Structure 1
Amino acid sequence: MSNQQLTYSPFDPDIIADPYPVYRQLRSEVPAYWSEQANTWVLSRYVDVCAALADPATYSSASGIFPTPPGVDMTQLFLPMLIMTDPPRHTALRKIVSKAFTPRRIAALEPHIHSIVDDLLDDSPKSDGWDFVSGFSGPLPAIVIADMLGVPRADRDRFRTWSTTLIQSNPARGEFGPGLEAATSLYDYFSEFLAERRARPQDDLMSALVQADADGERLSEDELLGFCLLLLVAGHETTTNLLSNSAVVLAQQPDSRRQLADRPELVPGAVEELLRYDSPVQGLSRTLTRPVDVHGQHMATGETVLLLFGSANRDDQAFSDADHFDLHRAPERQVAFGRGIHFCLGAALARLEARIALQALLARQPDWEVDLDSAVRLRSGPIRGYLSLPLE
């Protein structure tokens, strides 16, 4: 099939429902593909995605990480975010933020996450018809993030609304209005909160971010607000969708689910395979700082390139029988969290939450079915997950 015959857009509802057959076509037939609908090049093979992630000087993040219409500058729509910066500023920002986002701080959350998970499962209905997203996979990371930042739990529903609205915006079609309103509401909220933490620091992540510095340099007000938005969306949506996708995959893999219920020590490895098999972040964009020729295609300076993590993780050249879910696979090289300088800062937290949540769910409710006919998918191209997922 030629480039003209193959039609791919990350915002196509049919592709959102099941992108993997099209990914196979892309990898096999047009591994460097120009998408007219999304106005971007698309790289789908594991080796090409990894090479791009390892070359931030060529594949820049500074102009945005989502496909956008011609002439739209994402940097003018949102405040500076770590994920949308290049070195040397990215290096400095990451160094500052990492001081407040330490492994010790994450590891110390484990008992607290156990308690949150237990409370959510205690409140789950004993009859059929539980919405897994609103009852479990959505509230869990929202509560964790709220508690980490030090904001009231009562505001977590507002967080969830802002986050979902941002994710649901479709930049490829110029649908920025609701997302910008959500971002503005979040900026206003955290601007007041940051002022309070400067005046009265406490033992929470927000206070640590306000005070953190590297080599005498601190985050600016705009950078702090941008990080709050990034933390809310990336830290919240990634875990929510990892858990929701996992519930679907394990419902479709009852033998694997039974093994996990019987042997909870297998869950950490299973989380890695779940990340590979149905990645919550299907891809992110970069902008070329120089021309690149790949697979016979000339990609020009200034053009965007969508790096398909979800396709790379299903590439048979990287993972044997990649379309098969293998509970005992050891997919250490999966790229669900990216790679290189932009490797997800919250990866350890997402893994910790997923491990605790799945172990508890399997211990209490080892058998379930999902009603996919009634489920409501996110319509965001790069983020794969559900707005609603009825579970029985």
Structure 2
Amino acid sequence: MPMNDQHLTYSPFDPEITEDPYPVYRELRHHAPAYWSAQANTWVLSRYDDVSAALVDPTRYSSASGIFPTPPGVDMTQLFLPMLIMTDPPRHTALRKIVSKAFTPRRIAELKSHVHAIVEDLLSHSADSSRWDFVSEFSGPLPAIVIADMLGVPREDRDRFRSWSTTLIQSNPTRGEFGPGLDAAAALYDYFSAFLAERRAHPQDDLMSALVQAEADGEHLSEEELLGFCLLLLVAGHETTTNLLSNSAVVLSENPESRRLLTDRPELVPGAVEELLRYDSPVQGLSRTLIQPVDLHGQRMMAGDTVLLLFGSANRDEDAFPDADRFDIHRAPERQVAFGRGIHFCLGAALARLEARIALQTLLASRRDWEVDLDSAVRLRSGPIRGYISLPIEHACAPAQAE
């Protein structure tokens, strides 16, 4: 039986903890850096060095059995189609090589003016509002539109994308609550099955056609792998950006001096995005399964055990980031792990950063001051994802040039 600090209780799905997990993370790092969470049936690693080391060690920390804590006997690979994020080498190496042929840096870079136009259009709809919902009117639609346009699917389907995505990430696998998430995944698979067939018959200049046609070393993605990548792109690409922006709105509301400095010096925004990723990571953690026993901090974690790697805690580790609980736009947090590290480093990181930079620069240029109504906000109830379903913004319509 694993031994833990008797005063600590941690589960990634505890709503009281997800409200503000950082004090609990601090206790884990200081007193139980290898913690057994009986409620979630997983080990929990919270220190920066431990999380980083596990992320770059797929020979011991496997992704092939799933990336979320699950009850004993539940096999995530039987619930969802194959996904890049749930594979190990050598298959992961081959899949990543194929996908990278379609999801290229050039394709992302070419989106800059397109993303800017989408941001301007979304903000124009709330230009005369003194109160608006940041998620439903801005941070939610932006990545949904970008992904829809990239894939070549109709924009009017973006609301369905958002619904599927939110349902998927709010499933609680530790309680066996798979039903709604599986229904959402099935709906997405059905949607993209028909769409893939159409793109095979009539290729277009879009990411979906490129994925169908992409090959490396004579291999293509299988139908199941294509559908799995569509689900991954929807959830990872959509939720990361939506919640990065939503969390940023809150952090910048709570740090008005930093917000005004970014308004006056927009060239600081790219660095600030890295600090925002570190300070309140949209992805708080993902799991691995041990291939062999690991001894760490006086605990023996056995082969077959699940290990939750807390990105959000690693990014607040004082040993890696001095004064880690302070938001500092002048910090250079190159070591932050919000997008992971190693072979599973987020394929869409460049896209998320591009969207966040453009969104924040444009928002700050048109709305210098705002406050968030946290009392009316509705937080996501998701273990791995930190963000909001609804985030009312007040006094956000005053133009920057008015001062």
TM-score range, shorter chain: over 0.9
Determine whether 1:297 maps to 2:299.
yes
Matched residue, 2:244: 242
* Deviation, structure 1 residue 366: 1.1
User: Residue 48 in 1 paired to residue 53 in 2?
Assistant: no
SS in 1 for 2:308: strand
Once the two structures are superposed, what CA deviation does each residue of 1:117-161 show, in whole Å capped at 9, x if it has no partner?
000000115233200000000000000000000000010000000
CA distance in 2, matches of 1:366, 1:247: 12
Distance 1:311 1:200 in 2: 47
Provide the residue aligned with 1:317 in structure 2: 319
RMSD after superposition: 0.8
- 2:126 alignment partner in structure 1: 124
Question: 1:379 aligns to what?
Answer: 381
Kept in 1, the 8 Å contact 2:253–2:370? The answer is: yes
Q: Secondary structure at the match of 1:259?
A: helix
Structure 1 Cα separation of the partners of residues 15 and 134 of structure 2:
22
Q: In the alignment, which residue of structure 2 is the partner of 1:10? A: 12
Within 1, Cα distance between the matches of 2:177 and 2:94?
A: 32
- Tell me whether 1:84 sits opposite 2:73 in the alignment: no
Count of equivalent residues: 392
- AA matched with 1:325: F
Counterparts of 1:315-354 in structure 2, within 5 Å, are 315-354=317-356
Output aligned runs, 1:354-369, within 5 Å.
354-369=356-371
Partner of 2:59: 57
Aligned to 2:144: 142
CA distance, structure 1, for counterparts of residue 104 and residue 97 of structure 2: 11
SS at the partner of 2:347? coil
Distance in 2 (CA, whole Å) between partners of 1:46 and 1:18 is 19
CA distance in 1, matches of 2:242, 2:147: 12
Q: Which amino acid aligns with 1:375?
A: A
What SS does the aligned partner of 1:331 have? Answer: coil
Name the amino acid aligned to 1:332: E
CA distance in 1, matches of 2:226, 2:217: 17
Aligned with residue 67 of structure 1, among 69, 76, 98: 69
Structure 2 CA distance for aligned equivalents of residues 57 and 376 of structure 1? 40
Give the superposition deviation at 1:2: 5.1
Rounded to whole Å, the distance in 1 between the matches of 2:7 and 2:321 is 28
Whole-angstrom CA distance in 1 between matches of 2:132 and 2:352: 23
* Match of residue 209 from structure 1: 211
Letter in 2 for 1:86: D
**Aligned position for 1:224:** 226
1:306-353 residue CA offsets vs partner (Å, 9 max, x unmatched): 000000000010001000001100000000000000000000000000
Find the counterpart in structure 1 of residue 401 from structure 2: none
2:168 match: 166
The answer to whether the 8 A contact 2:4-2:35 is kept is no
In structure 2, what is the Cα distance between the partners aligned to 1:306 and 1:146? 31
Structure 1 runs not aligned, ≥5 long: none
Contact 2:44 2:307 (8 Å CA) reproduced: yes
The secondary structure found in structure 1 opposite 2:71 is coil
Amino acid at match of 1:346: G
**Aligned match for 2:192, one of 190, 193, 203:** 190
Q: Distance in 2 between the 1:368 and 1:264 partners?
A: 17
Match of 1:106 in 2: 108
Tell me which of 250, 263, 267 is aligned to 1:261.
263
Identity %: 84
Q: For residues 73 and 170 of structure 2, what CA distance do their matches in structure 1 show?
A: 21
SS of 1:210's partner is: helix
Residue number among 20, 28, 34 corresponding to 2:22 in the alignment = 20
1:156-209 CA-to-partner distances (Å, cap 9, x unmatched) read 000000000001111111110000000000000000000000000000000000
Q: Does 1:39 align with 2:41?
A: yes
**SS in structure 2 opposite 1:287?**
strand
Name structure 2 gaps, 5 residues minimum.
Answer: 395-403
**CA distance in 1: counterparts of 2:191 and 2:102, whole angstroms:** 21
Contact 2:250/2:372, CA 8 A, preserved across alignment: yes
4+ residue segments displaced more than 3 Å: none
Q: Distance in 2 between matches of 1:57 and 1:139?
A: 39
Q: Secondary structure at the match of 1:286?
A: strand
Aligned-partner Cα distance in 2 for 1:125–1:363: 12
CA–CA separation in structure 2 for the residues paired with 1:12 and 1:2: 18
Shift of 1:374: 0.5
Take 1:211 and 1:127, find their aligned partners in 2: how far apart are those partners? 45
| TM-fit CA distance, 1:5 | 2.0
Distance in 2 of aligned mates of 1:234 and 1:381: 14
Residues 1:156 and 2:158 aligned together: yes
